Structure 1
Amino acid sequence: MTAPLDLTDLSSLPLDLARPRLVQPGLLPVVPGHERYWVRPGGVTALELESGDELTVVDRFGAQAAELTVLGNGGEDFSALGLRADAPATVLGSLTEGSAFDNEQVARVVTALALRGLRPDAAHGVRLFGGWSPAGSRETFTAQRPVTAVVGNPTWAMNFEEQNPPSDLMIEVQRADPYRPREIELPPPLAEPVLDVRIDHSTAIGYEVKKGDYIQIIDVAGRQCSDFLAFDARALQEGRELGLDASTTRHIVGQAYAQPGLHGKFYNQDMDPLVSIIRDTVGRHDAFTPACNAKYYEDFGYPGHVNCTDNFNGQLKRYSVAARKSWPALNLFYNTMFDEHNMLVFDEPWSRPGDYVMMQAQQDLVCASSACPDDIDPSNGWVPTDIHLRVYSSERKFSMAITHRTNPDSVPKLTRETAFHERTSALTKQFTEYRNFWLPTHYDGYGPKAEYWACREKAAVMDLSPLRKFEVIGPDAEALLQYCMTRNIRKLSEGQVVYTAICNDTGGMIDDATVFRCSDTNFRVIPGEDYTGEWMRQVATERGLDRVWIKDSTDQLHNIAVQGPASRDILRDLIWTPPHQPDFDSVTWFRFTIGRIGDHQGTPVIVSRTGYSGELGYELFCHPSHANAVWDAVWEAGQPHGLTPLGLDALDMLRIESGLVFAGYDFDDQIDPFEAGVGFTVPLKTKEDDFSGRDALLRRKANPQRRMVGLELAGNEPAGHGDTVHVGRFQVGVVTSATRSPVLRKNIALCRMMVEHAEVGAEVEIGKLDGQQKRIPATVVATPFYDPKKEKPRS
């Protein structure tokens, strides 16, 4: 078992305190001496404790064991926490297996054990929780003397029918001396750095980087701007200053600033790339304004104020770079934006302690980085702090990633590859970040149109693994889902799936989801967002439903969809089911079965008659370790039927034609299911039990103001998300999704329209430019545009 170690995450812990005047989640603790850390499944977290410090281990989601090892100067010292070892430390024992030992963080733990004369495979521990421990279970220990506490989190592969995936543990530490000065702990190096230097606040440094090397710029305390300059080193030797150019970069990448992915490079004036963005844990930067300069402070009445431009001039002098009064820079962690009046505005940065940006040099470079001294406005949160710089050799490779946080103070998660990436990446290089995973936009050698037609006429296979999965299990599971979901979950039969809206108390849609009923007490909820799981846990607590476990199984279940008229023929001879499960041909629309690929010894899968294409189709769920086997079997079986891979671009055409809504485009928490066109998910007359948003939805349905309608556009110019829809001068609607329909040979759009203009046949105009100077005539039509009776998926 490979067990990567999860490094600590330090942030504020919400407590029952008087509400502060300003809420700033994700920064340093609001309670003196209180710290919080996380332990991922298969990982360990080590903490140094002083005498009197309190350590609390929390099984936040329930049914998750923990292993606690206590180390003193002479070896194991469990009595320091009032404990006796009762089991082997299995997680520690696994640290030297496979590639885990190559992990810098793991090496630190192994070294700490070695200094005490211990081997990981000989370590002991105290087992906490496990079995069916309630969500939120916690055990607290007080250190009698200085020790190192190591918390391990056992992991395993989830069994489909047991529905008990491993989950995170949380550690809380309350220091006995909360005011003892403690240096903010940086994230450990991602590899052995060739340069590792602190940039003190209000200073800058110049440095050289070789082509291919990686530059990691870390915000130490959070909310601190760091200006970055880079020059082509060879051009400097020739007397030419070719540095980062924001205008050229925006022209080439089509974005305000480069981000990890296809459009991830910053260019110079000659349109040559200088750096490529590899990782970005913040996502908000500035490429519009120069580094701060003397004139900026002088104009505010602060003559002589230290500034980044003068600091850069001093550092770059030795590289024969001419001094300037203002330097155009990439302002990392600086939070600027243009408002609706096209005015440039800014606020405090989004960065938290330890956030970073990693870039790879595309040429030999001369670089300069600053820790901005601005203390007269919010650009550094009013208090300038340090920046840390690390440079790594080109010999090391790092995954490309953006950070996702469920909540502002959540543990950051880097974009990851799905379990099917090895197969999809062999077919295309066109990937985009989609809900914290890399997914293909389209496939090389096919293209969106070919992929679309394959799905409409033959069959296509697509990776849908980013869909979130939550196992909701226990005696109170049905009661919880009956309240959280708009659909009547009590009527859901075992082996049945239902599509539902999920609403807040105002009737706005938090998310949509499919719900699988696995047994009387076991359900699988598949929404789009991580927050849906957090919200269900919150509801369970508020309603006193303490016999339900909501466990995230996204990393235990990855899935592909096989869609199209030939999908049944492709899978019929491929899926074997045991006698106690429905056979493949019995799986009708919105039903599922559990089976295997080939025969009783084949790869285990869950097969559901669901999809997002408007065609006959199925989804196959498997453990990530089986993904290649599942893909290969489907791909081989599909070749005689013309099976084609399908990316997000083609999927968007398919789902819009079929009137299928998409979160963030067609609905959000301000839009109710009726306005989003999924009012059929709200059985107000037949569902007698109360559910979240019911009262608000009763009022909204009785007094509708907007409806989701279809639009057919005249001519060949397309609409886009957010385009305004007008009758005369006044706006009556907004385009939520739009595409060119290959099968209809027309431009079409989904539109949220005022009810006065929502009747089929109504004539409207889609506004372009400012909404007034250019109009596209359009007609309201019924949806879905394609197969309005859904005869194809039902077939």
Structure 2
Amino acid sequence: MRVLILTQERYRIKPREGVLISLFDGDQFSIIDPEGGQVCEVLAFDNHGKDALKSINLKGELLSKFAQELLFSSSQDEATGLFLRQNNIDLNQCRSAKILGENLSFRNTGSKKEIFVNKSIVCILFSPAFPMEISEQNPGTEILINIDRNKNYLENEKFNLPPPFFEVKFEQTIQPGSAISYEVKSGDYIQIIDVAGKQCSDFLAFDHIALNKREELGIDLAATRTFMGLAYPVPGLYSKFYDKEFQPLFEIIRDTVGKHDSFVTACSAKYYEDQGYPGHKNCSDNFNSELQKYSIKSRPGWPAINFFYNTSYDKNAAQFVDEPWSRPGDYILLRAMKDLVCASSSCPDDIDPANGWNPTDIHIRVYSPQKTISKGIAYRMMPDSIPQLTHETAFHPRTSLLTKSYTDYRNFWLPTCFTGFGPIEEYYACRENAALIDLSALRKFEILGPDAETLLQKTLTRNIRKMSVGQVVYTAMCHETGGMLDDGTLFRLGMNGFRWICGSDYSGVWLREQTQKMGLQVSIKSSISEIHNIAVQGPKSREILKEIIWTKADQPTVQELKWFRFTIGRIGDDHGVPLIISRTGYSGELGYEIWCHPQHALKIWDAVWEQGNPRGMVPLGFSALDMLRIESGLIFAGYDFDDQIDPFEAGIGFTVALDKEDDFIGKEALIKRKKFPQKILVGLELEGNEAAVHGDCVHLGRNQIGIITSATRSPILRKNIALCRIAVEFSDVGTLVEVGKLDGHQKRIKAKIVKFPFYDPEKIRPRS
């Protein structure tokens, strides 16, 4: 995947996966081990399919067991399999080079191997790893590949494009300032690629059968926004674009940008004339010319989907424009739901930032529906990170049988609610019986080494030195300012081994940075590819799990497991699939979380479901989970805290051990913040049946004194409740306030500050 500039390409190789890359004379590339201790296995072939490792100064040896299994298996990716077949490569004669992955010295994070290419070759690179046992801390990690291309090869336009998904039915490059029309069949995929980055492309689509009847049924703004409830559809459940007859024309399957404009008109002659540029090329006239052959009536300005545009409206409803967010090789993937006539442009706008001041190519590819392409939205941990498309969790084959309603949560598809149940029924099942929740999107990091405790004592707000093996603690991670970087739970697996469960990928990056600054001997490795998890929550959770989880004599049983402790066990007996079970959760009920390797996920789901379903257990999605966690006063990143909010303001001051002897990052700031607090998190009960929402202002008279961070209708309390960050001067229980709607003044909802958690404030139920 190309990122940032045309002459550079970057690829990420996930553990147990590989990538095939064509390299040319004069190219240079580097292989990077970002987390340390990970081997990269390299195969190289010349144009005749012969071993070419020597040409890049690498020494060949027998293939690893991992490489043999992947290359000989049917699961190899299509590009690799096609290359091996076309070149008649005998895998039994192949050799590979193993580089990086030095023995774990705790100092090899980010180690790199630079390679210069002096002849055209094809490389297959692997990040070899075998599945990690749930009680181990040796996950395989990703390898990064950075390529600096020989600029002579960039003259070939196809060289600048991301590889096709499979055989292409039609493709064409659209030169800057021009447009094309093309026909697609129902089910076809349409890929619109921004070749060089920061280039906008307008898109039109018409029902082809209707055109044959001389009726124009194109994309309709009002219908699409009404049915989808979004400014523009996105991959997932709300993905369709409609015509004026309320019929879907196509849907978005993938989006590697996530920032667009929709339904502003394509640029027109009048736009440029009004700016003082008469005669300027424009997309609307280009569309008119292309669509004449379909007898589509010309328009002075075409309402269009404006892919890769970065125009929006501020709080004063003023429109603004800036450079697009798209990078080289970013794309939109659509799927036609009818036979369509389409038109696409490469916008000629060079008089404002719309195309980064420099119009470039757009490339169109059309694929037949011979294979299914997964839905996904690009996720970038940091602005220059390689994008990752939305994943399915290891439990998806089971949850997808029960619902089609998913949301993209931190780069994973997770259910919002389940067909046949719904949020209210799911909620009551958790409060009265039990619920099963897929929470695999939580980030996991293995923190291992002689200085692991020292690192965590320095970077977390709890007193980690007091933790016992088998204990779990909820804590915060803060910047020097005291603002929260993340919150999470820390598992102590051994004297020098911890597992950090949190919400943000950046937690791991930040911990590695602190390790290097302090010169500590610690390894921090992401293990999210090795650990997925479900939660079993509710008063019957212990009754369900004690029947199916076996533990060794030296490990606590489910019945013996105390709050915020974990045990290592198996399903059924000592031959069952391995797991870790912790007495933790996010519901405010008695509950447990089960942690396992993805390859064991379905067996664990089935075992829990078989025991739980007769006892009233139901699957539970994010909508019901939000009700549960707000009632229980549990905070959520991006809503109840961010890096400007400290733990005291977020309502988790109990996680800050200011009395621990060791200094920790943010301690000095937190001492001051606690001594001179300005805001505090409180609970609100609202009068009537109108609900508050995140971001609503809270007033005392005309003066705004707070803001709603989270809110819900509590089914069991039969009240609208909210978490509110409020000025400490007005935070006493019983204080009457008003929640502002509309502009904050025209409409107010009366509310009262109450003790929270709203439900089970003494936490008797999870302790039971």
Question: Which interval holds the TM-score relative to the shorter structure?
Answer: over 0.9
2:668 is matched with: 695
Tell me the CA shift for residue 202 of structure 1.
1.4
Counterpart of 2:303 in 1: which secondary structure? coil
In 1: Cα distance, 2:57 partner to 2:406 partner: 52
2:261 is matched with: 286
Query: Aligned residues, how many?
Result: 762
Q: 2:89 aligns with which of 114, 118, 133?
A: 118
Note if contact 1:100-1:106 (Cα within 8 Å) is conserved in structure 2.
no
Q: 2:61 aligns with which of 86, 92, 97?
A: 86
Counterpart of 1:632 in 2: which secondary structure? helix
In the alignment, is residue 10 of structure 1 matched against residue 2 of structure 2?
A: yes
Counterpart of 1:270 in 2: which secondary structure? coil
1:434 is matched with: 409
Matched residue type, 1:342: A
Tell me the CA shift for residue 70 of structure 1.
3.2
CA shift in 2, pair 1:77/1:753, >3 Å: same
Gaps of 5+ in 2: none
Counterpart of 1:404 in 2: which secondary structure? coil
Q: What aligned pairs does 1:255-294 form with structure 2 within 5 A after superposition?
A: 255-294=230-269
Tell me the CA shift for residue 271 of structure 1.
1.4
1:613-664 deviations in Å (ceiling 9; x for gaps): 0000000011111111111111111133211111111111100000000001
Q: 2:684 aligns with which of 687, 692, 711?
A: 711
CA shift in 2, pair 1:735/1:329, >3 Å: same
Q: 1:512 aligns with which of 468, 487, 495?
A: 487
Counterpart of 1:317 in 2: which secondary structure? helix
In 1: Cα distance, 2:323 partner to 2:115 partner: 38
Counterpart of 1:453 in 2: which secondary structure? helix
Counterpart of 2:160 in 1: which secondary structure? coil
> 367-376 or 75-84, which moves further after superposition?
75-84
Q: What aligned pairs does 1:104-183 form with structure 2 within 5 A after superposition?
A: 104-110=78-84, 114-115=86-87, 118-130=89-101, 131-132=103-104, 134-143=108-117, 145-173=119-147, 181=154, 183=156
1:29-88 deviations in Å (ceiling 9; x for gaps): 7xxx66543322233334455566544322211121111223335621333233321332
1:22 is matched with: none
In the alignment, is residue 793 of structure 1 matched against residue 761 of structure 2?
A: no
**Identity level (%):** 55
In 2: Cα distance, 1:205 partner to 1:174 partner: 32
CA shift in 2, pair 1:318/1:174, >3 Å: closer
Tell me the CA shift for residue 698 of structure 1.
1.5
Note if contact 2:473-2:564 (Cα within 8 Å) is conserved in structure 1.
yes
In 1: Cα distance, 2:742 partner to 2:262 partner: 25
Note if contact 1:402-1:415 (Cα within 8 Å) is conserved in structure 2.
yes
1:239 is matched with: 214
Note if contact 1:471-1:551 (Cα within 8 Å) is conserved in structure 2.
yes
1:781 is matched with: 754
1:387-420 deviations in Å (ceiling 9; x for gaps): 1111111232111111111011212111121111
1:153-185 deviations in Å (ceiling 9; x for gaps): 21211122321111111234456x667755553
CA shift in 2, pair 1:121/1:509, >3 Å: farther
Q: 2:392 aligns with which of 408, 414, 417?
A: 417
1:499 is matched with: 474
In 2: Cα distance, 1:364 partner to 1:35 partner: 36
Tell me the CA shift for residue 146 of structure 1.
4.9
Matched residue type, 2:100: F
In 2: Cα distance, 1:35 partner to 1:635 partner: 45
CA shift in 2, pair 1:196/1:52, >3 Å: closer
2:459 is matched with: 484
1:454-485 deviations in Å (ceiling 9; x for gaps): 11111111111111111111122222222221
In the alignment, is residue 633 of structure 1 matched against residue 607 of structure 2?
A: yes
Matched residue type, 2:133: N
1:530 is matched with: 505
Q: 2:532 aligns with which of 537, 558, 570?
A: 558
Counterpart of 2:524 in 1: which secondary structure? strand
2:698 is matched with: 725
Q: What aligned pairs does 1:325-404 form with structure 2 within 5 A after superposition?
A: 325-404=300-379
Note if contact 1:90-1:121 (Cα within 8 Å) is conserved in structure 2.
no
In 2: Cα distance, 1:213 partner to 1:146 partner: 35
1:254 is matched with: 229
Counterpart of 2:59 in 1: which secondary structure? coil
Counterpart of 1:740 in 2: which secondary structure? strand
Gaps of 5+ in 1: 1-8, 12-26
Tell me the CA shift for residue 729 of structure 1.
1.0
CA shift in 2, pair 1:34/1:268, >3 Å: closer
1:758 is matched with: 731
Tell me the CA shift for residue 106 of structure 1.
2.0
In 2: Cα distance, 1:397 partner to 1:140 partner: 37
1:195-252 deviations in Å (ceiling 9; x for gaps): 1221122111001111121111111111111100011112111221111112221111
> 472-481 or 296-305, which moves further after superposition?
472-481
In 2: Cα distance, 1:99 partner to 1:308 partner: 46
Q: 2:193 aligns with which of 199, 204, 218?
A: 218
1:733-758 deviations in Å (ceiling 9; x for gaps): 00010011111111100000011111
Q: 1:229 aligns with which of 175, 182, 204?
A: 204
Note if contact 2:66-2:130 (Cα within 8 Å) is conserved in structure 1.
no
Counterpart of 1:329 in 2: which secondary structure? strand
CA shift in 2, pair 1:780/1:760, >3 Å: same
Note if contact 1:203-1:373 (Cα within 8 Å) is conserved in structure 2.
yes
1:297 is matched with: 272
In 1: Cα distance, 2:294 partner to 2:249 partner: 17
In 2: Cα distance, 1:420 partner to 1:445 partner: 19
Tell me the CA shift for residue 122 of structure 1.
2.8
1:768 is matched with: 741
CA shift in 2, pair 1:692/1:767, >3 Å: same
In 2: Cα distance, 1:724 partner to 1:345 partner: 26
> 646-655 or 52-61, which moves further after superposition?
52-61
1:369-388 deviations in Å (ceiling 9; x for gaps): 01111111111111111111
Counterpart of 1:465 in 2: which secondary structure? coil
Matched residue type, 2:301: S
TM-score, normalised to structure 2, is 0.96
Matched residue type, 1:223: K
CA shift in 2, pair 1:728/1:413, >3 Å: same
CA shift in 2, pair 1:90/1:120, >3 Å: farther
Counterpart of 2:261 in 1: which secondary structure? coil
Tell me the CA shift for residue 99 of structure 1.
4.0
In 1: Cα distance, 2:564 partner to 2:528 partner: 20
Matched residue type, 1:593: T
1:20 is matched with: none
Tell me the CA shift for residue 148 of structure 1.
4.0
Matched residue type, 1:446: F
In 2: Cα distance, 1:738 partner to 1:642 partner: 28
Note if contact 2:2-2:329 (Cα within 8 Å) is conserved in structure 1.
no
1:319 is matched with: 294
Counterpart of 1:100 in 2: which secondary structure? coil
Tell me the CA shift for residue 109 of structure 1.
4.0
> 83-92 or 383-392, which moves further after superposition?
83-92
Note if contact 1:95-1:120 (Cα within 8 Å) is conserved in structure 2.
no
In 2: Cα distance, 1:727 partner to 1:319 partner: 62
Counterpart of 2:473 in 1: which secondary structure? strand
Matched residue type, 1:132: L
1:240-280 deviations in Å (ceiling 9; x for gaps): 11111122211111110111122111111121111111111
In 2: Cα distance, 1:683 partner to 1:666 partner: 21
> 259-268 or 652-661, which moves further after superposition?
259-268
TM-score, normalised to structure 1, is 0.93
In the alignment, is residue 457 of structure 1 matched against residue 428 of structure 2?
A: no
1:692-745 deviations in Å (ceiling 9; x for gaps): 211211121111111000000011111111100001111110001001111111
CA shift in 2, pair 1:79/1:359, >3 Å: closer
Note if contact 1:153-1:168 (Cα within 8 Å) is conserved in structure 2.
yes
Note if contact 1:93-1:123 (Cα within 8 Å) is conserved in structure 2.
no
Matched residue type, 2:217: L
1:648 is matched with: 622
Note if contact 1:92-1:121 (Cα within 8 Å) is conserved in structure 2.
no
In 2: Cα distance, 1:378 partner to 1:99 partner: 48
